[in-house]
Amino acid sequence: MAIAHDSDVELRSLLGSGSGLELKQLSLPTSKRLLYCDILTDNVRPYVPETFRRRVFEMLHGPLPSSKGYTFVLTCIDRFSRWPEAFPMCNQLAETVTQTLYVGWISRFGVSEIVTSDRGSNFESNIFQALTKFLGASKKRTTSFHPAANGIVESMHRQLKAAIKCYAISSWLEVSPTVLLGMRACLKEDIGASPAEMVYGQCLRLPGEFFRNSTSSSQILIEDTFLQRLRLYTRRFRPVPTFHHSSSNSFVHPDLASSHVFVSCDTVRKTLEQPYQGPFMIIRRNENIFRLSVNKRHSTVSIDRLKPAYALPDVSSESSLSKTAESKCQKVSKQQVTRSDRRVRLVDPYQAY
């Protein structure tokens, strides 16, 4: 990156034009070369040249770092027992997801009565729909841009990623089994038991390293590298009880009795792009979700994304009323009046008395 700074045209223009960035060359402890960094705020931010921006974007927003060829994880959790599972996958194709779910979950725990997922293309594929129909399971999907609809899985993701980050290694595949072991043995205060007790009827027998604060110098060193890493992982791991992270309620408009509603756009919007889409006609109402007619298709949307659409009076009726009033005015204006504003009634010679 330091070499790319020397040939970056945009960096030279920023240094010469006096932009809002406060760029300064700083040295890193791991390298002797100097990097241009923005020191305007308390957080020092290195300037990323154009040739490195795509690489940084993929590292921040892309899939998981490759660990023995695996870059994706299929996470599952049982709502009753809170039993978590995380199955590594090489890709996220629909066939891979379907096979992983059948081999990893269904073959061990049987067929679930209800399978809830998001609106990903791999879960909405024909092969996944055919699997749930073949097994006799009811397939339900969450509404778009509403992670709280499947909050138990999102909470599991938060706990799983936070525990993996505690280890100073890049191989998440080696750490995840130990993390899952601790999550399954951890006591859940809301149900008063651990997921292992709900599934097996008894607590799991855990390694002694889970409960040791320090290592003794008289311990026998294990030559096997796998057991050394396993002992290191379990020694650092401590189960943490879960709790509700959010206490604030989302805003729901009190007047949703109209026939049409607007739907908020929760994606990243462009400049001057409207924050709402619609109006869309309401087909069916529920306590938490509405079923709308969107582009001749039925779509389920959460109520916290809706805003009532108030319809104006019919324009055609107003135009007809205005035309009749105008014609009456024209008739009145055609009548003749005297100087004292009295109407003159002309006698029709052919009128019969």
Q: 137 burial class (0-12, 13-18, 19+ CB within 10 angstroms)?
A: middle
- Residue 238 CA to residue 241 CA, distance in Å, equals 10
pLDDT at 156 over 70: yes
Confidence tier at 276 by pLDDT (50, 70, 90): confident
Of 25-34, 171-180, 204-213, 332-341, the range with the lowest mean pLDDT is 332-341
What's the pLDDT at 334? 54
Picking from 153, 78, 142, the residue whose alpha carbon sits closest to that of residue 110 is 78
Sign (positive or negative) of CA dihedral 279, 284, 287, 288: negative
Confidence tier at 219 by pLDDT (50, 70, 90): very low
Pairwise pLDDT comparison (87 vs 312), residue with the higher score: 87
Confidence tier at 119 by pLDDT (50, 70, 90): confident
Segment 340-346 mean pLDDT? 70
Count the neighbouring beta carbons within 10 Å of the beta carbon of residue 40. 13
What's the pLDDT at 218? 42
Of 218-222, 275-279, 284-288, the range with the lowest mean pLDDT is 218-222
Confidence tier at 85 by pLDDT (50, 70, 90): very high
pLDDT at 97 over 50: yes
Strands (E) located in 84-126? 84-89, 114-117
pLDDT at 60 over 50: no
Q: How far is CA 141 from CA 105, 124, 147, 294, in A?
A: 19, 9, 11, 17
What domains appear along the chain, each with residue ranges and CATH number? Answer: 1-52 (no CATH), 72-151 (3.30.420.10), 160-211+222-236 (no CATH), 260-309 (2.30.30)
What's the pLDDT at 87? 92
Q: Look up the pTM and report it.
A: 0.53
Contact (CB, 8 A) for 293 and 309:
no
Pairwise pLDDT comparison (226 vs 215), residue with the higher score: 226
What's the pLDDT at 250? 64
What's the pLDDT at 217? 41
Segment 214-230 mean pLDDT? 54
Strands (E) located in the chain? 23-27, 34-38, 45-46, 72-77, 84-89, 114-117, 138-141, 260-264, 276-285, 289-294, 297-302, 306-309
Count the neighbouring beta carbons within 10 Å of the beta carbon of residue 239. 17
Coil, strand, or helix at residue 30?
coil
Question: DSSP string of 234-283?
Answer: HHH-----------PPPP--S---SSEEEEE--SPP-TT--SEEEEEEEE
Pairwise pLDDT comparison (167 vs 94), residue with the higher score: 94
Ranges 15-19, 86-90, 330-334, most confident:
86-90
Segment 237-265 mean pLDDT? 71
pLDDT at 160 over 60: yes
- Residue 305 CA to residue 233 CA, distance in Å, equals 43
